[in-house]
Amino acid sequence: MVAARRGGSWGRACLLAGCAAGETAHIAVVTPDSPEESDHGGQRDAEPCLDPGRWLEQYGDLLYSVAYLRLHDRAAAEDALQETLLAAWRSRHRFAGLSSEKTWLVGILKRKIVDQLRRKFRECPLEDPPDGEDIEDAGYYPSGRWKGHWIPDEGPAEWGDNPDAILERRELRETLEQCLASLPARLSTVFVLYEMEDMPAEDICRELGITPTNLWVMLHRARKKLRLCLEQRWFGGDAGR
Amino acid sequence: MDIKQRIIVWLAQYVAPCQVIAHRLSTELESKPGWRERLSTRMHLSICVWCRRYKHQLALIKSAAQLAASDQASDSPPLHRLPDESKDRIRRALRDAEQ
């Protein structure tokens, strides 16, 4: 049993325990009372070798991809990754090993992403005030007898009758990512928080300082823009119409 | 225009416009509407192929977003690679912070 394992340089926990990277050392650990960055653990007998250098090598691409999908910005994704590894290193004593290291790091990263999204949302309230107003009337008859109905050549195209097969395509994720990146920042933020992070609506409204009505309208516009973008980039615009 | 198409065109004048239905279909993903709205939406969908497609496409986008978000839980390779120069920079920052 190793008692003095706190602090010190990278990999010290590993060195003290005398194990190789990725292995598990037998160390008695009592987790703290306020585990903000913890994996909700209690008392246990073992913990993995914690080393930010190895985290970067082993999970760097994965964490970067997770951040990039949600932030659509290379610098912001790298910042989130760096902040995550720093936060993980500072709170390493809270890692109880009840979840995998990867799950623990992704959990911390997601909190960093929410912080970045909140900042981004608040920094650009005037950048795209229409929040997709331009798309609100796109594809519909603007006036006359059929006002508000789809114009046949501009209405939704046929995407195929096998959604499961479509969802299995890796290219769909790539296209979705491109389309998310093309959304106004405020729309992509609410979409990511609600649809991808599964954050409750009331939490989103509180974090972003918006009303539920605003949220639903922005989600509607985000979906409408995404649908149009996917149709143009993935399904080739006129396909199946 | 055959008789079926004529009936659909005639009915279309009396149902809510597609633009309203599109908004309603999006809202329905969050909360269940009242019976009047549900009935009106169902009537519209029964005669409008575009709004039926729209409904299915919204569901597909939702599923695709959730699938993409859960990708880190799978063993599939990451979609992006952290550039080497960024990796070096982050490694240095981590060392600085640790010292």
What are residue A46's DSSP bridge partners?
A26
Rounded to whole angstroms, what are the CA distances from B75 to A231, B70, B72?
29, 11, 7
pLDDT of residue A39: 53
| pLDDT, average across residues B65-79 | 77
Q: What is the pLDDT of residue A138?
A: 80
Judge whether residue B36 has pLDDT over 70. yes
The encoded tokens of residue A141 equal: 């008859």
Residue A152: list chain B partners with CB under 8 A: 50
A204 touches chain B (CB under 8 A): no
- Window 42-61 of A, Cβ < 8 Å to B: 52-53, 56, 60-61
Assess: ipTM above 0.95.
no
Q: In the numeric block, which tokens belong to residue A140?
A: 């519909």
Contacts of B56 in chain A (CB under 8 A): 159, 163
Distances (CA, A) of A227 to A70, A148, B17: 18, 18, 19
Mean pLDDT of A164-182: 87
User: Closest partner residue to A156 among B50, B71, B79, by Cβ?
Assistant: B50
Mean pLDDT for all residues in chain A: 76
pLDDT value of residue A32: 36
Whether residue A46 contacts residue A25, with contact meaning beta carbons closer than 8 Å, is answered with yes
What's the angle, vertex CA B12, arms to CA B7 and CA B15, rounded to 5?
Answer: 130
Q: Is A162 exposed, middle or buried (0-12, 13-18, 19+ CB in 10 A)?
A: exposed
Rounded CA gap, A127 and A211, in Å?
19
Q: What is the mean pLDDT of residues A126-138?
A: 57
The number of residues in chain A equals 241
Model pLDDT, residue B72: 62
Give the percent of chain A with pLDDT over 70: 71
Please determine, for residue A177, whether its predicted confidence score (pLDDT) is greater than 60.
yes
What pTM did the predictor assign? Answer: 0.77
B14 token code pair: 């009396």
Task: Indicate if the pLDDT at residue A63 is higher than 60.
Answer: yes
Q: How confident is the model at residue A38 (pLDDT cuts 50, 70, 90)?
A: low
d(CA A70, CA A114): 9
Residue A69 sits at the chain B interface (C-beta within 8 Å):
yes
User: What pLDDT, on a 0 to 100 scale, did the predictor assign at position A135?
Assistant: 62
Can you tell me the mean pLDDT for A133-152?
A: 81
Q: Which helix (H) or strand (E) holds A63?
A: helix A52-71
Q: What is the CA radius of gyration of chain B?
A: 24
More confident residue, A165 or A192: A192
A174 interfacial to chain B (CB closer than 8 Å):
yes
Q: Nearest-CA neighbor of A78 among A92, A66, A94, A96?
A: A66
| Residue A101 clears pLDDT 90, i.e. is over it | no
Degrees to nearest 5, angle at CA A155 with A148 and B68 = 115
Residues sharing a CB contact under 8 Å with residue A183, sequence separation 6 or more, in sequence order: A132, A191, A222, A225, A226
Mutate to test the interface with A, among B26, B48, B81 (most CBs of A within 10 A): B26
Q: Strand, coil or helix: what is B57?
A: helix
Residue A53 has pLDDT above 60, yes or no: yes
Q: Which residue of A has its CA nearest to B77?
A: A62
pLDDT at A7: 40
